[in-house]
Amino acid sequence: MNLTTGIILAVVAFVTATISAILGMGGGVVLLAVMMCFMSHGEAIPTHAAVQIASNGTRVLAFIKNVDGSALGRFVLGVIPGATIGFMLLWSLGQAEESEPYLKTIMGAYILVAPFLPKRRSGDPATSNLWGFSLIGLAAGAAALTVGAVGPLIAPVFARYDFVKERLIATKAVCQLTTHVLKIPAFLLLRPDLELMRLSTVALVMIIVVIPGTLLGKRMLRNFPERHFRLAFRTALVLAGLKVLIVDGLRNLPIWS
């Protein structure tokens, strides 16, 4: 990987980290899409995971007081068995590139529809029925190794509850963090041929820039009105859903070849 590529990835990592800190999502999908232009699927997913651990981890620390423990606990109950299922499927199938367009078509359709379904109930999320987080945790854990960026997959669940902007960003970041942490050891077992030294260098450069990018986004969020935040969040969901559905999913189905 040459210097120009490294600079491009560093700039994109900084910008997308800032976007994610403001909207709570979107940055990871864009970053992975750019990384896929320069890396194979097997290289991009674990490298992206390492960068997102830093990005989401910084976001968690920046908003630590706003994390919703009830939602997180239910998500973890689902994500651990989900990741186990995903790992066993990849282990038995080898590489999952063939199934990826189908998975992303389904995921894209879900992203577009789920945020606009009627809410289960209104009120304080701490007293709401949050078991939907366990189901989406199961799906996110199973899809994380193949899809890579699961932020848009879990975001619609947050859109259905009355999370204020800081609570949404903090809780979603820590949920995403759990999926990225699980991906690193999984890919080390699944892909022992990875060039760890080269990928570690690329990841380190990107990690260095996502931390200030996240802190900048938090600073900008302070002046972002709640109603504008909700509109921007749903707009980002629609754009991410269209990208996953059409660009990553439908366009790559075998029927077009």
Max Cα distance, the chain (Å): 52
Q: How confident is the model at residue 171 (pLDDT cuts 50, 70, 90)?
A: very high
Which residues in the chain belong to E strands, given as ranges? none
Please report the pLDDT score of residue 123 as a whole number.
Answer: 47
Domain ranges across the chain:
3-256
Which parts of the chain fold into alpha helices (H)?
Answer: 3-23, 27-35, 41-62, 69-93, 100-113, 132-147, 151-159, 165-190, 196-221, 226-242
Copy the structure tokens of residue 162.
């009355």
Please report the pLDDT score of residue 94 as a whole number.
Answer: 56
List pLDDT tens digits, range 187-200. 788 777 777 778 88
Copy the structure tokens of residue 30.
């864009």
Whether pLDDT at 136 is above 60: yes
Please report the pLDDT score of residue 138 as a whole number.
Answer: 92
Give me the mean pLDDT over the 236-247 stretch: 81
Whether the CB-CB separation of 22 and 220 falls below 8 Å is answered with yes
Question: Which residues 6+ apart lie within 8 Å of 97 measured at CB?
Answer: 41
pTM of the model: 0.75
Please report the pLDDT score of residue 65 as a whole number.
Answer: 92
Please report the pLDDT score of residue 126 as a whole number.
Answer: 46
Rounded mean pLDDT of the chain? 81
Whether pLDDT at 210 is above 70: yes
Cα 255 from Cα 66, distance rounded (Å): 46
Q: Residue 131, SS3? A: coil
Please report the pLDDT score of residue 51 as a whole number.
Answer: 92
Please report the pLDDT score of residue 191 as a whole number.
Answer: 75
